[in-house]
Amino acid sequence: MMSIPFFAGAIAILATWTGIRGPLSAWLVFLTIVATLVLFAFHATDSLDIAL
Amino acid sequence: MSGRLAYPLNVLALYALSVVLGVAFYDQFVNGALPCPLCILQRAGFVAVGAGLVLNVMRGPAARHYGLMILGALAGGAVALRQVALHVVPGTGAYGPPFFGYHFYTWAFIVFVAVILGSAVMLAAFREGAEGARRTGFATLAVALFFVMALANGVSTLAECGTSLCPDDPSSYEGYEALMDFMGGQN
């Protein structure tokens, strides 16, 4: 599951490189970002130990 | 800024990101430091930024591509800032040894901020409709190198975490071991 952003990014690069027309590459980059944020939410559950 | 000047800057930035991911790989495989889940997600942020750069290099600079780079840098920067905050209080330890005085997550945060600033400058100086420069072999090599880096990070993460979430403090390549166990059980 943690590898999804990397493979989405790699496919986006490949789609751009091979000249696939349309917004597919941009949407795949966007998917990379969304997947990163979703996985971040799964891993940022503990409260920070900072007393101000 | 004309496309002719923006083009080499994007290519150089793509090489710089490959170096960043290369240093992380060096630490992982030569120093034997397994990346933590937040470290992996910072690498994912770099891949998102790099994919935006590839769009600029292959299709010419565009506001949409810079926007994607900024979003990727914001996502990666948020992850890096979280890790900095986890270890900023004295006595809370750190993850991994320092590198030129700072830990990797602090460097990652600095690089993500630099990406946001750089993209903002390029957008401000960017002339709509400016022609891009002719693609060079140097640029194609940058794209190929970054593609290999993104793919290698995917495979490495799959070997470390398998198909689920990574443990907070990884101690082995669990995905690879599970695969070996599965293949051993088949014989």
A15 touching B (Cβ < 8 Å): no
The helix (run of H) or strand (run of E) holding residue A20 is: none
Between chains, do A39 and B68 touch, taking CB under 8 Å as contact? no
Write out pLDDT tens, residues B105-153.
999 999 999 999 999 999 998 776 655 556 788 999 999 999 999 999 9
- The pLDDT of residue A52 is 66
Residue A47 forms beta bridges with which residues?
A: none
From chain A, the residues in CB contact with B79 under 8 A are: 36, 40
Nearest C-alpha of chain B: how many angstroms from A13? 6
Q: Which residue has the higher pLDDT, B138 or A21?
A: B138
Count of pairs with CB atoms under 8 A, one residue in A, one in B: 129
- How large is the average pLDDT for residues A3-10? 96
- The pLDDT of residue A20 is 84
B120 vs B140: CA distance, rounded Å: 25
Is A9 a residue whose pLDDT tops 80? yes
ipTM of the complex in this document: 0.93
| pLDDT beneath 50, residues of chain B | none
Phi, psi of B93 (to 5 degrees): 75, -170
A35 vs A30: CA distance, rounded Å: 9
B164 vs B147: CA distance, rounded Å: 24
B90 vs B108: CA distance, rounded Å: 20
- The pLDDT of residue B168 is 82
- The pLDDT of residue B2 is 60
Looking at chain A, the whole-number percentage of residues with pLDDT higher than 90 is 69
- How large is the average pLDDT for residues A43-48? 82
B124 touching A (Cβ < 8 Å): no
Q: Which residue has the higher pLDDT, A35 or A1?
A: A35
B146 vs B134: CA distance, rounded Å: 20
Question: A29, A34, A49, A50: which to substitute to probe chain B, counting the most B Cβ within 10 Å?
Answer: A29
